[in-house]
Amino acid sequence: MPSAGPDYTHALTSAKDPHLTSPFPELDSDGERGKKEQPTAISASIAPEMTTAATALATTAATAQPPSLEISVSPAVNPLAASAPSTSVPDALASLTHAAHDQALEIINSLQSSARRRRSSVEAVAAASSVLASFASSAKARHANRTEAAAALATAVAAANSPPVLNPQMTYSSGQHSAAAALLAASGLHPGILPTDSGMGDTGIPQFDVASFGALPAYAVEATVGGDPSNTAQTLLTTIAETPTRSAGKPAVAAKPSRRKAAAGEPDLELSMSPPSSQFDGPLTSNGMPLTPDAPGSGRPGSLRHLTPDERRARRLQRNRLAAKECRQKKKVYITNLEQQVEDLENENSRLRKEIEELNAKLTLGGMRTSSTADPALVLNGESPQPKRSRVADRSAAPNPDV
DNA sequence: AGTCTAGGTCGTCACAGTTC
DNA sequence: GAACTGTGACGACCTAGACT
């Protein structure tokens, strides 16, 4: 059975952002690679784009008669829900027209592109936006999904708007939650989104309390137990749940021998499959790892020096596992884009050749009617006809390429 | 049905480069 | 200098399809 990982490729490959055409070279050539932006700055830069998307949705949708979207909050799944009654998403947002979807899709793709060029602190937001993109695309034909897309987008907007007041660790955490919320909405599961008391923001988009998503991953997993129609959503939700977002429980894993060296059939300690621990409430590192309290004398937040070698190894393996996944996904997208470029260029090439043939045919016909000294066919074939000029004139007219 | 093979996915290691 | 990220390389595993 092929593994069903999060499918980000749709949003990535469909984006028009030029950066997307060649992520690897682009990152390497412009010196961006390795330069990490602070999560707060990242989120701040993304927020306007998301806000723009949401505004576009609301504006375009204003002409339609919208259904009412109930985002109910279940206290059973979210303890914080008891303090906040069910709230309706504004009708303008709930009634997404096809044009709005197209517009949103474009903007979201751009957002996805921006997020992708950054690092792990925004990967969850990127995941959310990509899901939204594919979801918005598929939602054109289904009214209910449009409303869910609106809710999901509003959630993502809220997540993007919130980070400036959050520390970097919480930025990632809220990103995860927004991704989960978006996925829940996209998969038709109970969103459990908590609107804040502040109500509408400047853009007319309801502001959601990102902090209230604290219970999301746990019940998200519960919600998928019954059978999620969306493999993408289920997989990412599971991933989110297994990421120790709110848990620091470190699996007691003994250092295992190299998989290459291990004898066949030897039980493999699956660090990644260790059950998600759910007691941690502390901050997270930028990549979602629980931020370890500083060891005495440790100058770097989250120092692993006080951990046992086994624990350090387990963490490194887990991070590398995630990094490898990300890298492969990135590579896959890169290859896909290259293939698409090849196809596009081949199409363009054949189109231009056809155009040349047509123009040549026209010129040939014209040449038969009028006596022309020039040979336009040569020009159109890309062969540069030698102008009947002196070499002196040539030298003065064109700059020397060797200089 | 059993075997072979190609292709894909995944985890891990090693290493270079970056960040703090 | 420790911790971190990204990525190539490798081996293990799985699956689908072809072949016997």
Tokens of A59: 């504006």
- Nucleotide closest to A322 measured between CA and C1': B11
Q: Does strand C come within 7 Å of the CB of A29? A: no
Given this model, what pLDDT does residue A398 score?
A: 33
Q: Does strand C come within 7 Å of the CB of A259? A: yes
Proportion of chain A above pLDDT 70, given as a percent: 15
The winner for highest mean pLDDT among A23-27, A231-235, A290-294 is: A231-235
CA distance A136 to A115: 18
- In terms of pLDDT, which residue wins out, A186 or A76? A186
CA distance A244 to A250: 9
Please report residues contacting nucleic strand B, using a CB cutoff of 7 A: A 2-3, 5, 33-36, 256, 258-260, 268-272, 300, 313, 317-318, 320-321, 324-325, 328, 332
pLDDT band with cut points at 50, 70 and 90 for residue A174 = very low
DSSP A4: -
State mean pLDDT over A93-121: 40
pLDDT tens per residue across span A62-97: 333 333 222 222 222 222 222 222 222 333 233 344
pLDDT tens per residue across span A337-361: 777 777 888 889 999 999 999 999 9
pLDDT greater than 60 at residue A323: yes
Q: Does strand C come within 7 Å of the CB of A35? A: no
CA distance A181 to A26: 32
What lies within 8 Å, CB to CB, of A280 at 6+ separation is A244, A246, A247, A248, A249, A290
pTM value is 0.34
Q: Which nucleotides of strand B are protein-proximal, with an atom < 7 A from a CB?
A: 8-14, 17-20
pLDDT greater than 60 at residue A33: no
Give, in order, the Cα–Cα distances in Å from A93 to each of A17, A129, A175, A200, A366. 26, 17, 21, 12, 58
Given this model, what pLDDT does residue A349 score?
A: 92
Residue located via tokens 């020397």: A400
Q: Find the distance separating the first CA and the last CA of chain A, reported in whole Å.
A: 61
pLDDT greater than 50 at residue A122: no
Q: Which residues 59 to 98 of A reach strand C, CB within 7 A?
A: none
Nearest protein residue to C15's C1' (by CA)?
A: A1
Given this model, what pLDDT does residue A307 score?
A: 66
* Number of Cα atoms under 13 Å in the Cβ half of residue A41: 6
Question: What totals of helices (H) and strands (E) does chain A contain, helices first?
Answer: 13, 4
Q: Which amino acid is at A277?
A: S
Window from A60-74, A128-142, A304-318 with minimum mean pLDDT: A60-74
Contact between A77 and A193 (Cβ < 8 Å): no
CA distance A170 to A38: 12
Instruction: Count Cβ atoms below 10 Å from residue A2 Cβ, excluding itself.
Output: 4
Q: Does strand C come within 7 Å of the CB of A27? A: yes
State mean pLDDT over A182-194: 35
State mean pLDDT over A260-281: 29
Q: Does strand C come within 7 Å of the CB of A261? A: no
The winner for highest mean pLDDT among A130-139, A179-188, A199-208, A353-362 is: A353-362
Q: Does strand C come within 7 Å of the CB of A246? A: no
The winner for highest mean pLDDT among A202-211, A218-227, A384-393 is: A384-393
CA distance A168 to A39: 5
The winner for highest mean pLDDT among A144-148, A265-269, A354-358 is: A354-358
Distance A320 CA to C5 C1' (A): 9
DSSP A267: P
Q: Which nucleotides of strand C are protein-proximal, with an atom < 7 A from a CB?
A: 1-16
Given this model, what pLDDT does residue A42 score?
A: 28
Given this model, what pLDDT does residue A304 score?
A: 55
Window from A59-63, A128-132, A149-153 with minimum mean pLDDT: A59-63
Distance A362 CA to B4 C1' (A): 59
CA distance A333 to A20: 9
Dihedral sign from CA coordinates of A71, A75, A77, A80? positive
Contact between A120 and A84 (Cβ < 8 Å): no
- In terms of pLDDT, which residue wins out, A1 or A55? A55
Backbone torsions φ then ψ of A277, nearest 5 degrees: -85, 150
Classify each residue of A11-35 as buried b or exposed e, where b means 16 or more C-beta atoms within 10 Å of its C-beta.
bbbbbebebbbebeebbeeeeeeee
pLDDT greater than 90 at residue A168: no
What lies within 8 Å, CB to CB, of A42 at 6+ separation is A115, A118, A121, A122, A163, A171
Given this model, what pLDDT does residue A370 score?
A: 67
State mean pLDDT over A271-296: 30
Given this model, what pLDDT does residue A367 score?
A: 77
Contact between A39 and A286 (Cβ < 8 Å): yes
- Nucleotide closest to A334 measured between CA and C1': C7
pLDDT tens per residue across span A376-398: 444 444 433 333 333 333 333 33
Given this model, what pLDDT does residue A339 score?
A: 75
Nearest protein residue to B7's C1' (by CA)?
A: A2
CA distance A89 to A101: 17
On average, the pLDDT of chain A sits at 42
